[in-house]
């Protein structure tokens, strides 16, 4: 850490990036998945339906230490973890290459927008994953290129690596692929074959297994539901035909989300670096006597390519969320930093324009987007609209994030609704993502169970037993976004003695209601749903 603190440029990049992310974290309303992970934090368990347990800690950390529940506190852990991830990425680049490469890597990682959003702002499993991913690769760099000695001798760091990989798995199941990549690196590098004879590897493997005990124990007691969800249910009903256009779309989306001035060279550098490795596996002489720089690049490729190739294969026949492939590019940012450093030596002015121009453009675009999300500057109508606005609220995808404070105040400012909350045994909705927003809004007011009655209940099917609510009253809450709202209400009527609408809570932006939460009193649960 002292190496970073002694580098003024690195400190400026870290502080500047952190301050910008803090501003966005303060103003950006929480998405439904962030709210859902907040629900994890007050239903603490060894693991969860969709993900391993560490995201519950990273999301809950800010709310636990402040006692406040808002978009900033649930992201506080993410802000800290990503800053740590950037530090580890810098130190890894410094260890493998040089100070200029480390600085360039840090600058690029700070500027790539999807990194900063998915890894650095939003409360997601990706944030702790990237932290422990970065820690693992840093430890690997320290292990395989020690300060002294040309001949490799396995050390205690192998145990730390096993622990770090295990913690990556406890963050997100992508961590298994990280471990596979490290094994692949050692198997394909004769210099490091002594790893497989070292007792330190055995200790590392034991520590790895110990870290997996929470998710194994939890899944044993829940019919391996997490693994069935990710390996089977998530892709059920989707087309299975292999489609090259699917692969191209994954590549295109990754380039776009990383921002083309970074996404295009990232793919090019990765492809070029891989092609440079091919002669090492064709020639026996080169296989056993590789150059140091080539080995260092192969380490980065080994932990990156398995995930990228795996996601490309999945994307050929199934929907692929843009964030799923991102960890595969994280370590490769070092390769782009190394290449950019060589570009800088021949054309310093163009590299400077590339970085500064991209930074100014991205800050401007993200700032404009934040103004719209918060004040509705492009909304029609809106009291803050620019040139009268250009998009109607019902056509605006940004309304899919909800101002939790407005929703909470809608209940807090209504004595009738507060009384209904206190007299109800539970709250339920038609969808798990609406449930998450309501839980985040209501829990600080009244610690009432909030669940969903739907075919896709995610973790709510485990956290609550509706059988306990038979004969008791609840509140049903839906949104305007549900186009089938009347049908939804009719769906629940056979399960209650009576369902009566009692209130509507508007969510406003720019003085205009962009969403409404409809509150119904559901009296006397007759039977569990469905």
Task: Output the pLDDT for position 297.
Answer: 96
Query: Does the residue 135 lie in any domain?
Result: yes
The maximal CA–CA distance of the chain, rounded, in angstroms, is 81
Task: Output the pLDDT for position 487.
Answer: 73
**What's the average model confidence in pLDDT over 1-28?**
92
Residues 274 and 343 in one domain: yes
Residues above pLDDT 90, as percent of the chain: 74
Contact between 502 and 420 (Cβ < 8 Å): yes
Task: Output the pLDDT for position 327.
Answer: 94
Residues 299 and 385 in one domain: no
**What's the average model confidence in pLDDT over 316-328?**
86
Domain holding 368, by residue range, is 349-397
Query: Does the residue 287 lie in any domain?
Result: yes
Query: Does the residue 383 lie in any domain?
Result: yes
pLDDT band at 229 (very low <50, low <70, confident <90, very high): confident
Task: Output the pLDDT for position 237.
Answer: 56
Query: Does the residue 164 lie in any domain?
Result: yes
The average confidence (pLDDT) of the chain is 92
Domain harbouring 454, CATH code: 3.40.190
Task: Output the pLDDT for position 243.
Answer: 80
* Calpha distance 36→38 (Å, rounded): 5
Task: Output the pLDDT for position 455.
Answer: 84
Query: Does the residue 240 lie in any domain?
Result: no
Cβ atoms within 10 Å, residue 36: 26
Of the two residues 530 and 414, the one the predictor is more confident about is 414
Residues in contact with 95: Cβ distance below 8 Å, sequence separation at least 6, in sequence order: 138, 141, 142, 145
Residues 382 and 324 in one domain: no
Looking at the structure of the chain, the number of domains it has is 3
Q: Strand, coil or helix: what is 72?
A: coil
* Calpha distance 363→113 (Å, rounded): 9
pLDDT band at 418 (very low <50, low <70, confident <90, very high): very high
Residues 116 and 75 in one domain: yes
Residues 270 and 317 in one domain: yes
Residues 343 and 353 in one domain: no
pLDDT band at 483 (very low <50, low <70, confident <90, very high): very low
Query: Does the residue 23 lie in any domain?
Result: yes
**What's the average model confidence in pLDDT over 306-330?**
89
Least confident of 214-223, 229-238, 318-327, 432-441: 229-238
Q: What is the pLDDT of residues 422-441, one digit of tens each?
A: 999 999 998 888 999 999 99
Task: Output the pLDDT for position 234.
Answer: 67
Residues 430 and 485 in one domain: yes
* Calpha distance 211→170 (Å, rounded): 7
Residues 13 and 97 in one domain: yes
Query: Does the residue 231 lie in any domain?
Result: no
Query: Does the residue 230 lie in any domain?
Result: no
Residues 314 and 172 in one domain: yes
Place of tokens 């407005």: 406
474-479 vs 496-509, strand pairing mode:
unpaired
pLDDT surpasses 60 at 511: yes
Residue 2 C-beta-side C-alpha neighbours within 13 Å: 0
User: Of 259, 510, 517, 483, whose CA–CA distance to 390 is shortest?
Assistant: 510
Q: What is the pLDDT of residues 33-84, one digit of tens each?
A: 999 999 999 899 999 999 999 999 999 999 999 999 999 999 999 999 999 9
Residues 409 and 290 in one domain: no
**What's the average model confidence in pLDDT over 328-341?**
96
Domain final residue, candidates 381, 397, 413: 397
Residues 382 and 432 in one domain: no
Residues 374 and 418 in one domain: no
Domain final residue, candidates 380, 397, 414: 397
- The structure's pTM equals 0.94
Domain final residue, candidates 335, 363, 397: 397
């Amino acid at each position: 850490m002292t190496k970073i603190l002694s580098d003024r440029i690195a400190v400026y990049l870290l502080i500047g990036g952190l301050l910008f992310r803090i501003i966005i974290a303060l103003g950006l309303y929480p998405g439904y998945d962030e709210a859902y992970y907040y629900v994890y934090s007050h239903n603490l368990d060894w693991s969860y339906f969709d993900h391993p347990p560490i995201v519950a800690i990273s999301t809950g950390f800010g709310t636990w230490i402040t006692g406040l529940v808002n978009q900033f506190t649930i992201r506080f852990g993410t802000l800290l973890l990503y800053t740590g991830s950037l530090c580890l990425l810098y130190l890894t680049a410094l260890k493998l290459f040089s100070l200029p490469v480390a600085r360039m890597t840090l600058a690029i990682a700070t500027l790539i927008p999807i990194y900063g959003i998915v890894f650095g702002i939003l409360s997601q499993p990706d944030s702790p994953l990237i932290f422990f991913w970065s820690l693992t690769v840093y430890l690997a760099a320290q292990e395989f290129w020690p300060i002294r000695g040309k001949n490799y001798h396995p050390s205690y760091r192998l145990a730390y690596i096993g622990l770090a990989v295990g913690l990556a798995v406890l963050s997100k199941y992508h961590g298994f692929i990280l471990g596979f990549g490290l094994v692949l690196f050692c198997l394909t590098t004769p210099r490091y074959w002594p790893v497989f004879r070292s007792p330190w590897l055995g200790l590392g493997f034991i520590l790895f297994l110990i870290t997996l005990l929470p998710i194994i124990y939890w899944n044993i007691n829940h019919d391996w539901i997490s693994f069935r969800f990710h390996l089977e249910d998530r892709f059920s009903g989707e087309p299975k035909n292999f489609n090259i256009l699917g692969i191209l779309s994954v590549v295109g989306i990754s380039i776009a989300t990383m921002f083309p001035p970074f996404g295009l060279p990232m793919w090019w550098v990765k492809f070029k670096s891989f092609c440079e490795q091919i002669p090492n596996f064709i020639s026996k002489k080169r296989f056993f006597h590789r150059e140091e720089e080539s080995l260092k690049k192969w380490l980065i490729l080994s932990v990156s390519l398995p995930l990228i190739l795996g996601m490309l294969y999945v994307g050929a026949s199934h929907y692929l969320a843009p964030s799923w492939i991102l960890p595969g590019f994280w370590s490769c940012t070092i390769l782009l930093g190394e290449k950019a450093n060589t570009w800088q030596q021949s054309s310093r002015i163009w590299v400077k324009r590339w970085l500064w121009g991209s930074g100014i453009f991205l800050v401007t675009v993200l700032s404009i987007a934040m103004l719209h999300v918060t004040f509705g500057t492009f909304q029609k109508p809106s009291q803050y609209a620019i040139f009268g606005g250009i998009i109607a609220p019902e056509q605006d995808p940004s309304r899919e994030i909800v101002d939790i404070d407005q929703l909470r105040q809608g209940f807090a400012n209504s004595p009738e609704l507060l009384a209904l909350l206190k007299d109800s045994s539970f709250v339920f909705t038609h969808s798990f993502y609406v449930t998450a927003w309501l839980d985040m809004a209501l829990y600080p007011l009244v610690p009432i169970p909030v669940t969903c009655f739907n075919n896709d209940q995610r973790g709510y099917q485990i956290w609550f037993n509706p059988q306990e609510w038979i004969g008791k009253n609840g509140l049903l809450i839906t949104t305007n976004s549900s186009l089938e709202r009347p049908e939804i209400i009719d769906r629940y009527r056979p399960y209650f003695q009576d369902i009566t609408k009692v209130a509507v809570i508007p969510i406003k932006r720019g003085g205009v209601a962009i969403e409404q939460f409809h509150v119904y009193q559901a009296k006397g649960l007759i039977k569990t749903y469905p």
